[in-house]
Structure 1
Amino acid sequence: MEGFVERGFEGVRDGFARAHEGDEGAAQLCVYRQGRVVVDLWAGQDPESGKSWDAESLTVLMSVSKGMTATCVHILVDRGLLDLDTPVREYWPEFAAAGKADVTVADVLSHRCGLSSFDAESGIGARELTDWTACVSALASMTPLWQPGTAFYYHSLTWGYLAGELIRRVSGKSVGEFLAAEIADPLGLSLWIGLPEAQEHRVVPQFNRRKMLSAADVEAMISSMGIDVGERLVRATLATVAARDEGMALLNTREGHAAELPSGNGIGNARSVARMFAATIGEIDGIRLLTPKAVDRARQPQTEGLIHPAPLDLMPRGNYFAHGYELTRPAQLVGPGAFGQVGTGGRIGVAHPESGIALGYVCTNMVGDDTGGPDPRWQPWSQALRASIV
């Protein structure tokens, strides 16, 4: 392990060391407090590629990319160019098709809009995810999988296209271009959605030793709960699971890095993730990304009181969401009021206005899962972090 911690955060350093004693992969942890770096740690190595690992190394951020994209959206909301309560059709007229005329920007951001997966018959599989036009066209013409606004279900793949197309329609820039121009370049971040080839040498691949449930496993589990696997929503969900393994492999390729997949192919490091989230809640070198009013609006709970749509209403509800940000696990990590996003494999980007804490955590060994509980590697250092900021 290398790096530093400020006085009072030694427990975080010790917890990070314990968390990665048996981890064969690499990890980074960076924490800001009131706009100042108080923790900057990295450890491990890449067992497969032999690439070196340090504080400036990059890796795929998975669904932390959604937190990056949500921040882009809220910059536009803050500027009055997007309105959360306005129907999406006002910005993206084609989206009004197939019963979606009243779907609002808020419905899209909070995973309530009924487009949680591409239809099983859409022809959108893992290889098609790099075709932006095909994906947004399929979503614009799609009939919702449930009545929008009445339930929520995590839009694991589709959310990025929906939010990203809103960004493109309003700003004239793709999500990757907007992120670079409005966030990464001004703050000096190593953070991309659509990685330039010149940065490819810095990327350390992710890997996964654990057995993930296959589409057949998930189908059997759902069926055992008495859920009809022939239902449209179930078939769409299973198609997403079936595309997962090929999609994971895609994210370790140059093609997967170069594309803009705002739900999951953001690339960066812990320093940059933490610095971006710190700039949402405070000023960093003269730059603040969101006003306090925008932060409070962005983190308002949007799915409490809702359940999953039938026939998946028997599934556990898991995490709750605000306007594009996750709430449940950020609050568990830092405290009530925290917002951010957790990504498959254990990545984290979180901000907590009440304490002034913002953090980024990235790793290459995909132990954690963005649809379940906390990654076991978080507990030792996050517990110490909470104790440090009391």
Structure 2
Amino acid sequence: MTVSTPQVDKIKEVFERNFAERGELGASVSVWKDGEEILNLAQGWCDRTKQREWTADTMVPVYSATKGPASAILLMLLEENGLTPQDLVVRVWDEFPNKNATFAELMSHQSGFAALDKKASVFDYGAVIEAVEQQAPYWPLGDGHGYHPRTYGFLLEKPVRELSGKTLGEVWRERVAEPLGLDFWIGLPESEFGRVATLYPGKMDKSDLESGFYKEFNQEGTLVRKAFGSPRGLHAVQEMNKKEAWQAALPAMGGVGTARALAKFYQAAIGRIECFSHDVLEWIKTPVIQGEDRILCTPTRFTCGFQMDPLDDYGSKLRHNYGAALGAFGHPGAGGSHALGDPESGVSFAYIMNQMELAVLPGPKSLEMIAAL
């Protein structure tokens, strides 16, 4: 269903302009309100040969937009096992090296494991967990936070396996994706391979090179560089186009799905579709930490696994990645995929594409649509 409103018309206008002026190749946008989809746009091509048309059922890897759905699974299992985010991680994971860290600190990127010193492959779960257990935190608890771009998924996966006896991707399918009919996978089955679009990398311009993040990222030996380099593997965009990446079920960066599925998930995350308990909904939306991010090199604000826009000293937003509402939250993915929910208005939004931008935070292709909301 598509409802015609000034906001919807503006979103359509931006969506079309992305193709006409911003090099969009294939993309989908889904907007929901109070349990109903009110807009779904899908256009373009699944690859540059233009042999496969992009439709609403086209899926694509969404990188870190996976972190929101994955985080909700751990929160759900904590509650079911009589735990809360304020409990210590070592109650579930005996060998976790930061003995005083709570799940809330772990899930809001405070525990200091943004990078690993010991080499391990993203495809070797056991080796990564061993590397985490031997890692000294890069900063002490209480001394701020830094985004964990790649290790975060393993920090979720281990407790989920301990609490459920299953992988996070399996729990996701059984408890959320299948009941809600979500075409979003953390571990894609072979039967769905033919629906996945090809990703294409973005290009760096001068403004990117001059940003604080990219100065750190491009300098050998920095924590930023280490964070985006460990565990090893799946660094190049072309690697994310391979079935091994889709099947790896990496909760930090390996989700594959449609815009409709992500937007519908956020309807559940804001309580407009029944799925999560009252406590889990509160944990999802309650801010835990704000400040200068050691990895992203800009102020960030996190709940247990979800991002919010940071606020200034007067309570106003420093940026609007999640729209105007103070309580809106979500998570972007590298290159441009983005999704959010707003508990106050009942609106959720998701945008996916295959022509990436060179950015770790959302860019104008999605932000102009969010502004229209």
TM-score band by shorter chain is 0.7 to 0.9
Consecutive unaligned residues of structure 2, counting only runs of 5 or more, are 310-318
Q: Distance in 2 between matches of 1:27 and 1:246?
A: 23
| 2:144 alignment partner in structure 1 | 151
TM-fit CA distance, 1:81? 4.1
Confirm whether residue 326 of structure 1 aligns to residue 320 of structure 2.
no
**AA in 1 matched with 2:189:** P
Change (3 A) 1:18 1:115: same
Of all paired residues, the percent bearing the same amino acid is: 26
**What is the RMSD of the two structures over their aligned residues, measured on CA atoms?**
2.9
Change (3 A) 1:234 1:186: closer
Q: Distance in 1 between matches of 2:162 and 2:4?
A: 44
TM-fit CA distance, 1:218? 8.9
**Does structure 2 conserve the Cα–Cα contact (< 8 Å) formed by 1:58 and 1:202?**
yes
Confirm whether residue 297 of structure 1 aligns to residue 290 of structure 2.
no
Change (3 A) 1:348 1:209: closer
TM-fit CA distance, 1:26? 0.8
Change (3 A) 1:230 1:135: closer
Give matches, 1:44-193, under 5 Å.
44-48=44-48, 50-95=51-96, 97=97, 100-119=98-117, 122-124=118-120, 128-193=121-186
**AA in 2 matched with 1:377:** K
| 1:377 alignment partner in structure 2 | 365
Change (3 A) 1:166 1:200: same
Q: Output one character per residue of 1:287-334: Cα deviation in whole Å (capped at 9) or x when no partner.
A: x12234432332222222x4445xx7xx73332211110112776435
SS at match of 2:194: helix
Change (3 A) 1:331 1:289: farther
TM-fit CA distance, 1:235? 6.8
Q: Distance in 1 between matches of 2:213 and 2:372?
A: 40
Q: Output one character per residue of 1:318-369: Cα deviation in whole Å (capped at 9) or x when no partner.
A: 3221111011277643521011101111111211110001111111111152
Q: Output one character per residue of 1:191-210: Cα deviation in whole Å (capped at 9) or x when no partner.
A: 11110011101101111141
Q: 2:297 aligns with which of 290, 303, 316?
A: 316
TM-fit CA distance, 1:187? 0.8
| 1:28 alignment partner in structure 2 | 28
Q: Distance in 1 between matches of 2:239 and 2:56?
A: 25
**Does structure 1 conserve the Cα–Cα contact (< 8 Å) formed by 2:150 and 2:228?**
no
TM-fit CA distance, 1:82? 3.5
**Does structure 1 conserve the Cα–Cα contact (< 8 Å) formed by 2:204 and 2:358?**
no
TM-score by length of 2: 0.87
TM-score by length of 1: 0.83
Q: Distance in 2 between matches of 1:104 and 1:381?
A: 36
Change (3 A) 1:133 1:35: same
**Does structure 2 conserve the Cα–Cα contact (< 8 Å) formed by 1:330 and 1:341?**
no
How many equivalent residue pairs? 359
Q: Distance in 2 between matches of 1:323 and 1:129?
A: 23
